[in-house]
Structure 1
Amino acid sequence: MSAAAQGDLPQRRRRTGVIALAVPNLEEPYFAELTALLCRRANDRGLAILIQQTEGDHEREVDIANGVGLPDTDGLIHIPRALTVADLTRRTSPGPLVLLGEHIKISPFTHITIDNRRAAADATAHLADVGRRRVAFIGPRDSRPSDAADQRYAGYREAVAAHDLATDAELTVSVDAFTAAEGARGVAQLLASGATFDGVFCSNDSIAFGVISALQGAGLRVPEDVAVIGIDGVRATEFASPPLSTVAPDKDAIASAALDELDRQMRTPPGRDMPVQHVTVMTRVIARASTGR
């Protein structure tokens, strides 16, 4: 573009070639893998990514949405845990924005997600299909609410009803975080309650890793005694012992959709009306040895 043409667009900032990514926690394998994928796909497009870890802290998420402490960037991909629509409508540094994940699903901002309810229902239905009748769920979040956890709990309950599975209250165990340690604690709680169960659906794969370890430590065989399935499709599921069944989102599609939508906003002249996009990416059950397949 000529200097004269550049002068015709005083309201448009010059491109930096850098976009920001706000992610809750890179210790969580799903976020680490998605971040790596976004970095690779961005590099293919000639973009660099500035990664900011928020720990799900509301103040930190708001600061990043407002560009506080950040250099100039061309746009922001945000995976929020505490941010609200009100926070975003008051952004002091508005610009291209794409939200990832279940949180703030209904909003006037472009959003990329999976159908967490459907994914959970599919996971629970898979356990029913392999003959499990008393399926526990480790994963509701009470102390630190999570929209994804709420949707996955709703999907679990739908599948329990649809397949006429046991509905005992003690079969549901809440967690404080989606970690292997919380999965192990959940198994200890199930065993201490005296509940009988032959399957466990876990809110994510990290919880499932802890569940398998704790079950084996208690002398229970997976999947002969208890079948286990998670959600997220992280690479380590293939190498767990036994390999973990999981419901895997199309992470490549998530990354591509996020960058496509951000690019669409970056290319739209300021002030021009632009339709908001809400994209739901498909998931699929990957059956492995932890459920007897």
Structure 2
Amino acid sequence: MADSRPAPARSAPLPHLDRTGIVALAVPDLEEPYFAELTALLVRRAGERGLSILIQQTEGDHDREVDVANGVGLPPTDGLIHIPRSLTVADLTRRTAPGPLVLLGEHILVSPFTHVTIDNRAAAFAATEHLQSVGCERVAFVGPRDARPSDAADRRYAGYREAVSQLGLADEPGLVAQVESFTSEEGLRVARLLVASGTPFDGVVCSNDSVAFGVLAAIHEAGLRVPQDVAVTGIDDVRAARFATPALTSVAADKEGIVQAALTELERQIVSPPGADLPVQHLVVDARVVARASTAR
């Protein structure tokens, strides 16, 4: 007997059945508070979009950064957000597993890949200008790293140099202190040397907040007062800045803006059909000085 029941209606095909819901994130160092906070925010905002973040710590190692870009050792993912430190444009154009990609930071400024960054040069200029506005005339900079160059630190140093020139601040080699790493321990070591050198200074711009915490400790150790004798500012505005002694003035990047822009641009690539000619986006988010007690003269 023939089955008289109507045939079940055919469901419309679901889009993106091959999507995993996973996005890889390559981050240099989760012990650095800025990267830890940015990663936490990325995880939170990705979750709100129904995405999971697969975190890969690269230590800035070139081979590891290339492996992550090529998906080596990773499960299938929908895309990659990469914060490179040694990766090159050539590495990215030779990717063996091309797919949606967004770069964060200034290491690769010009490329055929979408990237999101802050203007680190402008951030350091603003920090230096803020110190000048509270009466500093001899502003030191703690944070260039020639041994292992850092694009962000180089641009921050360039912003400091530009401000020194434009604002008529003291311009002496002894006011610039090299670091080997961007840590509080290194900030402490270098600031001790700066104090011991006898070079007078009444303000310090630090390449990041971690370095600034060490600088604050060295200044206190030397019996100097912050901000009365030396005003100090960092860059990045990590959460710990408000709990330093005294609370640290810092230049705050719009972390929310960075994260939302990165996820939006990545999703734009993910949902586009293969071969779509998408425009490359180069997005710069805002940063502003958050003045606290370390510069409140």
Q: How far off is 1:193 after superposition? A: 1.9
Would you say how many aligned residue pairs link Structure 1 and Structure 2?
Answer: 288
Instruction: Name the larger-Rg structure.
Output: 2
Which amino acid is 2:32 matched to? E
Which amino acid is 1:87 matched to? D
Report the equivalent of 1:186: 190
Q: Does 1:276 align with 2:292?
A: no
Report the equivalent of 1:239: 243
**Aligned mates of 1:87, 1:24 — CA distance in 2:** 17
Runs of 4+ with >4 A deviation:
2-6
Report the equivalent of 2:178: 174
Are the structure 2 counterparts of residues 105 and 3 from structure 1 closer, same or farther at C-alpha, using a change threshold of 3 Å? farther
**Aligned mates of 1:214, 1:190 — CA distance in 2:** 9
What TM-score, normalized by structure 1, do the two folds share? 0.96
Report the equivalent of 1:197: 201
Which amino acid is 1:29 matched to? P
**Aligned mates of 1:3, 1:78 — CA distance in 2:** 38
Q: How far off is 1:285 after superposition? A: 0.3
Pick from 107, 112, 122: which aligns with 1:103?
107
**Aligned mates of 2:112, 2:193 — CA distance in 1:** 41
Report the equivalent of 1:23: 27
Q: How far off is 1:13 after superposition? A: 7.3
Q: Does 1:131 align with 2:135?
A: yes
Q: Secondary structure at the match of 2:270?
A: helix
Q: Does 1:160 align with 2:164?
A: yes
Report the equivalent of 2:89: 85
Pick from 20, 27, 48: which aligns with 2:52?
48
**Aligned mates of 1:135, 1:3 — CA distance in 2:** 68
Q: How far off is 1:185 after superposition? A: 1.4
Q: How far off is 1:3 after superposition? A: 7.5
Q: How far off is 1:162 after superposition? A: 1.1
Which amino acid is 1:217 matched to? E
Q: Does 1:250 align with 2:254?
A: yes
Pick from 261, 265, 280: which aligns with 2:269?
265
1:10-52 CA-to-partner distances (Å, cap 9, x unmatched) read xx77100000000000000000000000000000000100000
1:215-242 CA-to-partner distances (Å, cap 9, x unmatched) read 1011111111100000001011111110
Identity, % of aligned pairs? 68
Pick from 198, 201, 206: which aligns with 2:210?
206
Q: How far off is 1:192 after superposition? A: 2.5
What TM-score, normalized by structure 2, do the two folds share? 0.95
